[in-house]
Amino acid sequence: MTLELINPPDLPIPKTYTQVVVARGTRLIFVSGQEPEDVDGKLVGRGDFALQARQVFTNLGRALAGAGVLPKDVARITIYVVDYQRDYHLPIIEEARVALFGDHKAADVVLGVAALSPGYLIEVDAVAVVDG
């Protein structure tokens, strides 16, 4: 499997994601939206966006491991944020994201949403690509 990460010269170069990802592999892994829940399904960090962001990326890492893939195999993530405010939320998201992905920069989109489950402030899903 290979992921070709492309930042065209006529687009801004993002800090934590890549503008275009070309994935070559034989198996696609679709990870459902990971919520800020502990192993018992209980909300972690009610009212604390940073804690919830760390939890969803931790859960995403666990889901990927459960499928036998690594964070570096992720081609794209979608991040859903309640009442998204770029200046406030983005630095927190980037910190939590880097904790899982390191310098791997999958393509992404951040979507502001009106609501998730009650008390939930963030959710993240992913698509990974591997050989075999």
Q: Which CATH superfamily is domain 2-130 in?
A: RutC-like (3.30.1330.40)
| Residues 63-91 pLDDT 10s | 999 999 999 999 999 999 999 999 999 99
Please give the share of the chain, as a percent, with pLDDT higher than 90: 95
In this prediction, residue 72 carries a pLDDT of: 97
In this prediction, residue 132 carries a pLDDT of: 77
Specify whether the backbone of 23 is left (phi greater than 0), alpha (psi in -120 to 50) or beta.
beta
**pTM given for the model:** 0.92
Specify whether the backbone of 89 is left (phi greater than 0), alpha (psi in -120 to 50) or beta.
alpha
